[in-house]
């Protein structure tokens, strides 16, 4: 750079609302502040695991508006974990005797597990929690398509 160095009283430091050293503490306190009341313990454990990283000021994906949808994601993850545990203990199939002989069938919990995974994937994408979704959220500096106004057609 050329020219005289600015005097210290003329320099305005660039600061966020939060001091950079306190980002993790801010994220934990913000997640705790936004945590919905009355969630079951297993859902609270999921919230406590995923809400702080989403509250981190560099991501800033959790706020008053999105807290409800994140709680729904937490419910879906907790349900998915329960279904996986049940299937690990009891197996994914059962054998039934029909007029055609013995048949091996999938337990209904397998379909429920698949459905909760679809719900998780959909909500996780909304929060940028997959690599592709994160790239999409980080690439928001693309120019939007501008439709021509009425004056442009005359």
Alpha helix stretches (DSSP H) within 35-95? 41-55, 67-90
Beta-carbon contacts of residue 54 (< 8 Å; ≥ 6 apart): 31, 61, 62, 70, 127, 129
- Residues spanned by the domain of 37: 19-131
C-alpha dihedral, 64 to 65 to 68 to 72, nearest 10°: -130
In the three-class reduction of DSSP (H, G, I as helix; E, B as strand; rest coil), residue 99 is classed as: coil
User: Nearest-5° angle of CA 25, CA 19, CA 136?
Assistant: 75
Distance CA 88, CA 82 (A): 10
Let me know if residue 2 belongs to a domain: no
Residue 142 maps to a domain: no
pLDDT of residue 114: 97
Residue 43 in any domain: the answer is: yes
The answer to whether position 149 is within a domain reads: no
pLDDT tens string, the chain, 154 residues long: the values are 577 766 655 555 555 544 556 888 999 999 999 999 999 999 999 999 999 999 998 888 999 999 999 999 999 999 999 999 999 999 999 999 989 899 999 999 999 999 999 999 999 999 989 888 888 877 665 444 455 555 554 4
Does residue 67 form part of some domain? yes
Total domains in the chain come to: 1
pLDDT the model gives residue 110: 97
pLDDT at 11 (0 to 100): 54
């Amino acid at each position: 750079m050329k020219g005289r160095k600015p005097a210290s009283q003329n320099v305005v430091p660039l600061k966020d609302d939060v001091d950079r050293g306190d980002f993790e503490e801010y994220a934990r306190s913000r997640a705790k502040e936004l945590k919905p009341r009355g969630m079951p313990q297993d859902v609270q454990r999921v919230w406590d695991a995923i809400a702080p990283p989403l509250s981190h000021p560099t991501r800033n994906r959790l706020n008053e508006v999105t807290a409800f949808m994140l709680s729904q994601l937490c419910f879906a993850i907790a349900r998915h974990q329960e279904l996986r545990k049940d299937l690990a203990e009891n197996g994914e199939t059962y054998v039934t005797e029909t007029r055609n002989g013995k048949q091996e069938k999938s337990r209904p919990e397998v379909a429920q597990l698949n459905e909760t995974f679809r719900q998780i994937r959909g909500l996780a994408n909304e929060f940028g929690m997959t690599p592709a979704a994160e790239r999409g959220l980080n690439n928001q500096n693309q120019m939007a398509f501008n439709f021509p106004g009425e004056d442009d057609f005359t």
